[in-house]
Amino acid sequence: MTPDEMQALVERLYPLCRSITGDGVRKTLAIVGEYLPSLRAHEVPTGTHVLDWEVPREWNIRDAHITDIATGERIVDFRELNLHVVGYSTPVHATMMMEDLAPHLHTLPDQPSLVPYRTSYYAETWGFCLSEETRASMGDGPFEVVIDSTLEDGHLTYGEAVIPGASDREVLVSCHVCHPSLANDNLAGIAVAVALAQRLREPHHTFRFIFAPGTIGAITWLARNRERVDSIAHGLTIACAGDEGQIHYKRSRRGDAPIDRAFEYVLQGRPHTILDFSPYGYDERQYCSPGFNLPVGSLTRTPYAGYPEYHTSGDNPSFVSPAGMSDTLETLWETVQVLERDRTYLNLSPYGEPQLGRRGLYASLGGRSDTEQAQMAMLWVLNLSDGEHGLLDIARRSDLPFATVAAAADALRDAGLLKELQP
């Protein structure tokens, strides 16, 4: 998937009204499935107990508006922007004066031209979001107020795509699919995840991509996959993946998991920020809850709530860029290559330095532009392959490129000098 194709996917998904349940999620997963044929949608019935939670009723919406009865003008129109309705609003059809309507209106006085994103998943109410400029232009009414929605027993839907690997050890990649028209905080992460999945070819690890509603979706997946979590070797949530800010990586709860060290290694030498874990943010807080304590970090550009457009109508397709998503993808891809090739070996000739020349190892380096570096990599790999240090550890300590260290390990293994230890 090219950068422009990622942008096109964001633009295609943008009009859909997503929430933690409902047809917007299903339509989103159907489109993602066009790019990832292995994607399977799972439907979990309302009322299902998932850990300490319960799957809520399903919400769907067809239309909503506030119409000035005197002029017939739709002042607020869901068909123009689905952020205009508070997520999970109960049905309304009434004639109201501003005095009664005002408590149900949400604006951003400090950002008067933008429409906020608001939800009320677990408390039954209704409301509209609009710009402060529009709110200021409204008179006293009367207004026709309509929210044509349903809130009834149904299902929670999440998607799962698996790319089988040579190992049953898994890399978990998780994106939330519960936000309506928010391009960076939702859709850019989906596009990057899809592009990563398409790029994988016969990986070493098995890759499991989860596209689920935030919080309740990850909790539901964990509740239904408790027997699987021990297979997760590395994990990541992806969000806010397309803006022009620098890369931010948030460590897992463990703080020193292999994926934490891999991102720290890949990001060195380029603008970035490494954040310590906190139990706030995206679904890494579910995967890293103490009972699971999975090695799951979080990758963003500008983090949640870190840019003025966050959770507003300003987070539209023009806010993200092909270049931003491409940089996120390439950073992720480089890290995946480290995770894929990182191994721990045991030196089978640890007493003194083995004779490399008679095994043809020095001769194999002839003509390489990095001959000296490759020789040093062999020596470092032999010295630190004691069953305690992986290739990433060796690359960091030797200050040599990881790819050079991995290539040296391959040569030494093929020469019978190294034995790979299973994790």
Same domain, 164 and 108: no
Per-residue confidence in pLDDT tens, the chain, 423 aa: 999 999 999 999 999 999 999 999 999 999 999 999 999 999 999 999 999 999 999 999 999 999 999 999 999 999 999 999 999 999 999 999 999 999 999 999 999 999 999 999 999 999 999 999 999 999 999 999 999 999 999 999 999 999 999 999 999 999 999 999 999 999 999 999 999 999 999 999 999 999 999 999 999 999 999 999 999 999 999 999 999 999 999 999 999 999 999 999 999 989 999 999 999 999 999 999 999 999 999 999 999 889 999 999 999 999 999 999 999 999 999 999 999 999 999 999 999 989 888 887 866 555 555 678 888 999 999 999 999 999 999 999 999 999 999 999 999 999 999 999 987
Domain count, the chain: 3
Question: Which one, of 310, 291, 313, lies nearest residue 302 by Cα?
Answer: 310
- Edge-to-edge strand list for the sheet holding 386-390: 386-390, 344-347, 418-421
161 and 292 housed in the same domain? yes
Q: Which of 317, 341, 365 is the last residue of a domain?
A: 341
Same domain, 291 and 179: yes
Residue 33's domain is classified under what CATH number?
A: 3.40.630.10
Q: Are residues 258 and 379 in the same domain?
A: no
Q: What is the pLDDT of residue 81?
A: 98
202 and 234 in a single domain? The answer is yes
133 and 159, same domain (yes or no): no
Sequence length of the chain is 423
Q: Do 49 and 63 belong to one domain?
A: no
CATH of the domain at 390: 1.10.10.10
Expressed as residue numbers, the domain containing 43 is: 3-56+155-341
Furthest C-alpha separation in the chain: 94
User: In 3D, which of 144, 141, 66 has the Cα closest to residue 99?
Assistant: 141
The residue among 341, 360, 395 that closes a domain is 341
At 356 the pLDDT is 84
The pLDDT assigned to 357 comes to 81
User: Where is the domain boundary, 134, 152, 170?
Assistant: 152
What CA–CA distances, in Å, run from 189 to 16, 209, 268, 284? Answer: 16, 12, 22, 14
Q: Are residues 417 and 298 in the same domain?
A: no
CATH classification of the domain holding 65: 3.50.30.90
| Residue matched to tokens 């950002």 | 111
Segment holding 419, helix H or strand E? strand 418-421
Q: Are residues 28 and 113 in the same domain?
A: no
pLDDT in the model for residue 423: 76
Q: Are residues 43 and 97 in the same domain?
A: no
Task: Map tokens 């050890």 to a residue.
Answer: 169
Q: What is the pLDDT of residue 374?
A: 86
Residues 252 and 368 in one domain: no
Q: Which two tokens stand for residue 308?
A: 């003025």
Structure tokens at 419: 């034995």
Q: Residue 372 has what pLDDT? A: 81
- 3-class secondary structure, 51: coil
103 and 145 in contact (C-beta within 8 Å)?
no
Bridge-based pairing of strands 296-300 and 232-238 is parallel
Residues 314 and 216 in one domain: yes
Confidence (pLDDT) at 360: 79
